[in-house]
Amino acid sequence: MNALNNIKSIAKRELTGYFASPVAYVFIVIFLLLTGFFTFMVGGFFERGDASLMAFFLWHPWLYLFLVPAVGMRLWSEERRLGTMELLLTMPITSWQAIVGKFLASWLFLLLALVLTFPVVVTVKYLGSPDMGVIICGYVGSVLLAGGYLSISCMTSSLTRNQVVSFILSVVVCLFLILAGWPPVTRMLEEWAPAWLVQSVANFSVMTHFDAFQKGVLDSRDVLFFLLVIGFSLFSTSVILRSHRAG
């Protein structure tokens, strides 16, 4: 129970920090504007003639590629730059509690931004009779995708005190996870690589696993993939932080 209270305290502190500055509000506005632009203008929402949010979820891996690292780049870089990381980790909490608390706060912030896209759901409900199960499944996949990207940003943020460097590292790693299963890349690999290798590379891609959610398929293997990415990245963060303390 004490561990849970510590995590809640850290999460509350972090979440309050987001909304104490205009950055959070700017991020939410930019996110909503970009999702609307890509859904209705680029994605051809009305031209599809289909009562679904495929045009909405299609762009999430690419939108999150830059927006999520922008949220996560300050998680530990800011603590190191201000010299408060040592103070935080000497409090009566474990490094794991601090990591989980900070991660959950940022994940909740991203979830809030995603919840505010409800007008898109209202629009598609007004225009037709969509399968709400598929839409809910798409939102679950989007939440897990954001969590996966965020955990990677958390890890890269612990590597450096420079937020820009953290941002760039996070974008590069997340981009790799996109391109590994992006159809143009897999088709290129198929020209010279054996099928098992192409499939193995694709299995490491967020695109491969997120695609099922878009289609309304809630596969435990896809859920497990994102949870493993989150778990591995947060574990790596703890190892990095421990090395800083030892140094």
Greater confidence (20 vs 182) lies with 20
Spatial CB neighbours of 91, under 8 Å, sequence gap ≥ 6 = none
Under a CB-based contact definition with an 8 Å cutoff, are residues 59 and 66 in contact? no
Of the candidates 182, 175, 185, the one whose C-alpha atom is nearest the C-alpha of residue 207 is 182
The CA distance from 154 to 79, in Å, is 12
Residue 62: both structure tokens together: 């690419």
Domain boundaries, the chain: 2-246
Greater confidence (247 vs 207) lies with 207
Confidence grade of residue 234 (pLDDT, cut at 50, 70, 90): very high
What percent of the chain shows pLDDT beyond 90?
33
Digit-coded pLDDT (tens) for 91-130: 667 788 888 999 999 999 999 999 999 888 888 888 878 8
At 9, the amino acid letter reads S
Alpha-carbon distances of 114 from 7, 53, 126, 138, 180, rounded to whole Å: 23, 14, 20, 11, 25
Digit-coded pLDDT (tens) for 2-36: 778 888 888 888 888 888 878 888 889 999 999 88
- The number of angstroms, rounded, from the C-alpha of 65 to the middle of its chain's C-alpha atoms is 8
Confidence grade of residue 162 (pLDDT, cut at 50, 70, 90): confident
